Structure 1
Amino acid sequence: MTSPATLAADRREAGMQAVAEAQERDAPGYADAAYDAIIRIAERQATVHINDLLAECPLRPERPNSAGSVWMRAIKDGVITFSGGARHCLTDPRKNKHRYPVYLSRLFQGSERLAASAPAPSRQLEMFGGGL
């Protein structure tokens, strides 16, 4: 029997995939541009937040939730890790009601020390509602 957490994670993954595919169909290139921007940010600074991504990436998604799959890809690829913290988006008034995760860079010099204080990867997945 599949656990409720696993079902929820599977549904989340399917939803993120559907939004990402619709985004790519309607405005090709956003996911790659955003991912590349996350890498550039992670290489030059210790933390990564939506404010940084919006400043770095000139493209904007047609669907606001389509960025979720980009962040998850960066986590899976070991570019960033969840810090356990969150803060408001200050650069996009449509997002200012929400608190967005602050990620620790795994590419920035000295990031090993910061990443050691982050939640374990399995705990990060729990924070996102299950497995990847």
Structure 2
Amino acid sequence: MIDHIGIRVADFDRAKAFYDKAMAPLGASLLMMVPAEFTGGMKVGGYGRDRPVYWLSEGSAAGEPKHVAFTAATRAEVDAFHKAALEAGGRDNGAPGLRPHYHPDYYGAFVFDPDGNNIEAVCHRPE
């Protein structure tokens, strides 16, 4: 249903360093930087696995922090995401584990990114 989503980040280079590490265990990476002539000089980049779906735009972080959940293929990917995100400077917001109050097979982990957004990796497969 959702094709892509974008958030503003206060410091693009800091956010990029964080997301480069946090996304790697999920098989995602920075796939595109929009040329500056199309953005008025603002840094804009898109992360994804096969196409950009999660966009970072340089500027003042707008409004309330966001919550975004990324699909993980396995519970081990959730664990690796959480570890990598913390090593990249994220703040823990929920260690990897089952969340049966959402669904019996819901295995997720939550981390605050450098701008205070609550990012999550989740696997819905039983293991």
| TM-score relative to the length of structure 1 | 0.30
Query: Which structure is higher in strand share?
Result: 2
